[in-house]
Structure 1
Amino acid sequence: MNKDLLAQINTWHEQEDYALIVKRLEALPESEKDAETIGQLARAYNNLEDYRKAIQLLNSVKEQGTLDPLWHFRLGYGYYHIAEYKLAQAAFEEANRLEPGDESTQDFLDWIRPKVTKMERDRILWEAEQAEWEQGGTLNQLRTASGTYDPATFWQQSDYARDNHVSAPFDEALVQSIEQELGYKLPASYIQLMNTQNGGIPARTTFPTQESTSWAEDHIAITSISGIGRDKMYSLGGELGSRFMIENWGYPDLGIVICDCPSAGHDVVMLDYRFCGPEGEPCVVHVDQESDYEITYLAPNFEVFVRGLLDEEHFDLLDEEDFDPLDEKQAITAVFTENQSVTTFSKEAIAPFRFIDAGTNSYSVILNAGTYLQDVFDSRAEEGFEGSGYDWASLASVFLEEKMPHLTSVIRFDPEADMFCAYTNDKDALISFILGFKQACEQRDLILDLFSRAELD
């Protein structure tokens, strides 16, 4: 590469102007694209989070990069961010062999090794469960507890679901178009379910897990299943569809984001094609942004996943059976006022709001929009209020400013169309807020008075 061009590329890199690097290097004649140029171009694509393009470029000069630790580092970086941890580990280990002691390489190896172990365990489980399923086995009884997904009872019907989730019927041409756009073949069982209703909110919304996540110790929850199309915002190709979550929220490009979760984007359910390839039968995984995109294996295929969905009350009953009112671990201790006035409450005290401890000094309260006090928002429907997450945030802001002004600099809101979310790193403050806000919600005159000053977002 020309020295002047390399200096310019390094300047743009320091300025984080990666798109300009790509534009300049892609415009070069093929005869000038040597291994160093391709390496710089791959670095820019990595920084633009187009990891698959970076990997493709690096592999095109694999022979020249064999003895280059930087080539192996960039390759490992790309593989790491699409959750191909075993390939990433091999690349970083070779970079470390060629240039021992590099701190960044060592950091990646420390992060990757436990992920490789977990991924290998998941692969073995997927192979065993998928083989059992194909042979007509029942798998774990809990995972198939809901039986067949009868279209008459599978979907929850509401105006909100129809407006935001349920797409029009599709044809084979649209399926092929979406598959080409996403880069993966859709499972036959998923297409079959979408033929009953093309996306929406299922009646059963929880699925058991063998390990804890930011949502719960023994299960995850979903709020919707994406439909095939581009017309509704939560459809696969929609405004908030699979590619949006991968490209804008940083989820690993391991497959297709298929289900939204109650955390307003902070965790999702994905079809994972790492073990089967883009044309195969993917397993289903939960990916948790709040835990550095931790991947939790759920089911060997989509059909097992939807058959295993359970009512939320299933886990509430389990909690009630295990609940000991004298056990402090079953309650939340909170500061209810500005002073150290302590109280305790169980999750029922704030229902239908949900309190989430992400385990990383990050706390949030969420609510599925359209499920609570909808008549309050309907009272100002002519002004544009719909009861969305944004409308709930407007109402909560008025409450906070008027009733708990000492918390206005502590509590933040991050709503989505279908989800209200309040968050902070101050657990006591958030609990104090949600206890007070829930109490206000139960006083109709008070909440209507507060709502009269809410502003449409």
Structure 2
Amino acid sequence: MSKELLDKLQSWYDDDQHDKIVEAIEQLPESERDYELVGHYGRALNNLGRYTEALQQLLSVEQQGKQDATWNWRIGYSYFYMHQWEKALSAFEQFDRLEPGDADVDRYIEACHDIMVRQAVAIREITRVPFRERDFSQFWEMSDYADKSYVEAPPTAEMIASIEEELRYKLPADYIWLMQQQNGGVPVNTCFPTAVSTSWAEDHVAITGIMGIGREKAYSLGGSLGSNFMQEEWGYPDIGVVLCDCPSAGHDVIMLDYRACGRDGEPAVVHVDQEAGYYVTFLAPNFATFIAGLVNEEAFDTSEQDKLDDLDKVEYAQFSSLLQSLCEKADGIDRIEAVIRNICTQIVEDKGYFAFHADELSMLMYDIQFWLYAGANPGVTRAQYLAEYEKMIAFAQGFSTGGYAPDFVSSWLDERIKQGDIVNKEGVLSFTAAATERLVGKLIAIESGLGDEG
């Protein structure tokens, strides 16, 4: 293999252009595809979700690959996403023997073990009480929100066929049966245990509701916020059907995954995490097992510990470099860092966690951040400030809320402009002298109530 081709393959891999890798290799005669090229080919097919093809290619060089950690990683990856857990585990364990201590491999090994145990338990449970013989009388939560956003009329055969044609996937029989009892809604139990951490939690994912078969309600498969919307507008991969929305409001979803079974087969249920580059986490081998495995959120109630962790964070965590530099330039307040920590401690005490919304203390923190930023950047525009905002606290390392709702910040800014506290002069934003005086007065009052340092 020429160095020029190798460099191209690596460049395409770095740019996530896996289709170009496949196209380039497939143009070569099979007789010219050496062990290294087959490895690149298999990796690209894996990254395109073509696991069966990737496996076929990688197995063609099995004798050379058995003692190669990279080959074992790639074949383990194929087996894992084909839901062949024992073979995946064997490959990952071989990698670990050859190159111990890889964090990603350790994660997959843990996931294989956990999935195999959970799957055995789930199969026993489903066998003990068949899905359609279960008592679903207490399954759904009754609420105006559920009725307005999820619950459709019972699906007709024509509606089922129409939705399947629109989505291009055959819906699972057990899902259709459950929707015929109630067509979508919010279940009482909204959590599903996981073997690995996600953007939602270390040990589980949560759902907001289950989409029904129809188009009338926003959260139906064919609704305005349904499966096609999530894939077209939010970029979720075309591996199947978005089944459940999650509390993150779009940043993760539950999907029916047809990659291993084809469009007419029995799909697995997976969690897809936009926050982690659309990372896919296996949940259950089928819809029935997923539903049977849902547990109540009380099983994962960590609110007390979360509050303690956030109190520790706002008291001791390091400020972002941007916020730290702005505090050092603050005019009129000697202990602005202590003032910010005091306000944020009260926010955590009030809410039980660290987040800014539209309450009085959050509005004060919006004021402080703008005052600090505009003081150091006197020519700041709206676009500049909204782009820089997240670097101060929202997405910083250490002292951070771990995210934010942009609408809250925009609404705060609009409100301050409407009130006349912030003026816009030829695109440049600034607090008025009167607004600055009031804000600094509040901060001095807070500062005066703080104990001595040390």
- Alpha-carbon contact 1:18-1:45 (below 8 Å) kept: yes
Q: Give 1:12 shift.
A: 0.9
Supply the AA of the counterpart residue of 1:171: M
Supply the AA of the counterpart residue of 1:425: A
Q: How does 1:54-453 map to 2 (within 5 A)?
A: 54-59=51-56, 62-68=59-65, 69=68, 71-80=71-80, 85-93=85-93, 101-102=98-99, 109-134=105-130, 147-149=138-140, 153=143, 156=146, 161=149, 171-177=159-165, 180-181=168-169, 185-192=170-177, 202=186, 206-207=190-191, 215=200, 220-226=205-211, 232=223, 234-240=225-231, 244-246=235-237, 256-271=241-256, 295=281, 301-302=287-288, 305=291, 329=308, 332-333=311-312, 334=314, 338-341=336-339, 342-343=341-342, 344-345=345-346, 349-350=350-351, 365=355, 402=370, 405=373, 411-412=389-390, 423-430=394-401, 449=419
- Alpha-carbon contact 1:271-1:285 (below 8 Å) kept: yes
Q: Aligned to 1:258, what secondary structure does the other structure show?
A: strand
Q: Aligned to 2:229, what secondary structure does the other structure show?
A: coil
Rounded Cα–Cα distance in structure 1 between residues aligned with 2:281 and 2:122: 14
- Alpha-carbon contact 1:122-1:297 (below 8 Å) kept: no
Greater mean deviation of Cα atoms: 114-123 or 278-287: 278-287
CA distance change for structure 1 residues 245 and 133 in 2, over 3 Å: closer, same or farther?
farther
- Alpha-carbon contact 2:230-2:242 (below 8 Å) kept: no
Rounded Cα–Cα distance in structure 2 between residues aligned with 1:431 and 1:135: 39
- Alpha-carbon contact 2:139-2:187 (below 8 Å) kept: no
Supply the AA of the counterpart residue of 1:240: Q
Structure possessing the higher radius of gyration over alpha carbons: 2
- Alpha-carbon contact 1:179-1:186 (below 8 Å) kept: no
Rounded Cα–Cα distance in structure 1 between residues aligned with 2:202 and 2:190: 12
CA distance change for structure 1 residues 117 and 178 in 2, over 3 Å: closer, same or farther?
farther
Supply the AA of the counterpart residue of 1:50: L
Rounded Cα–Cα distance in structure 1 between residues aligned with 2:90 and 2:194: 29
Supply the AA of the counterpart residue of 2:87: L
Rounded Cα–Cα distance in structure 2 between residues aligned with 1:397 and 1:330: 20
Identity across matched positions, percent: 25
Rounded Cα–Cα distance in structure 2 between residues aligned with 1:291 and 1:123: 25
Q: Which has the higher contact order (CA 8 A, sep 6+)?
A: 1
* Structure 1, unaligned runs of 5 or more: 248-252, 356-364, 374-394, 414-421
Rounded Cα–Cα distance in structure 2 between residues aligned with 1:225 and 1:453: 46
Rounded Cα–Cα distance in structure 1 between residues aligned with 2:130 and 2:350: 45
Supply the AA of the counterpart residue of 1:238: F
Per-residue deviation, residues 97-140 of structure 1 (Å, max 9, x unmatched):
xxx74579x5654333222211111111211221133077769x
* Structure 2, unaligned runs of 5 or more: 216-220, 317-334, 377-384, 428-454
- Alpha-carbon contact 2:19-2:48 (below 8 Å) kept: no
CA distance change for structure 1 residues 116 and 21 in 2, over 3 Å: closer, same or farther?
closer
- Alpha-carbon contact 1:331-1:346 (below 8 Å) kept: no
- Alpha-carbon contact 2:55-2:78 (below 8 Å) kept: no
Higher helix share: 2
Q: Aligned to 1:349, what secondary structure does the other structure show?
A: helix
Q: Aligned to 1:329, what secondary structure does the other structure show?
A: helix
Per-residue deviation, residues 194-244 of structure 1 (Å, max 9, x unmatched):
568976x73868437599975468975434444557865642233537994
Per-residue deviation, residues 416-455 of structure 1 (Å, max 9, x unmatched):
xxxxxx9413453539999xx79x97xx975964999999
Rounded Cα–Cα distance in structure 2 between residues aligned with 1:236 and 1:220: 19
- Alpha-carbon contact 2:271-2:282 (below 8 Å) kept: yes
Supply the AA of the counterpart residue of 2:186: P
Q: Aligned to 1:10, what secondary structure does the other structure show?
A: helix
Q: Match of 2:380?
A: none
- Alpha-carbon contact 1:233-1:239 (below 8 Å) kept: no
Q: Aligned to 1:237, what secondary structure does the other structure show?
A: helix
Rounded Cα–Cα distance in structure 2 between residues aligned with 1:403 and 1:296: 46
- Alpha-carbon contact 2:396-2:402 (below 8 Å) kept: no
Supply the AA of the counterpart residue of 1:329: L
> What TM-score comes out, normalization by structure 1 length?
0.55
Supply the AA of the counterpart residue of 1:123: Q
Q: Match of 1:382?
A: none
CA distance change for structure 1 residues 109 and 37 in 2, over 3 Å: closer, same or farther?
closer
- Alpha-carbon contact 2:256-2:268 (below 8 Å) kept: yes
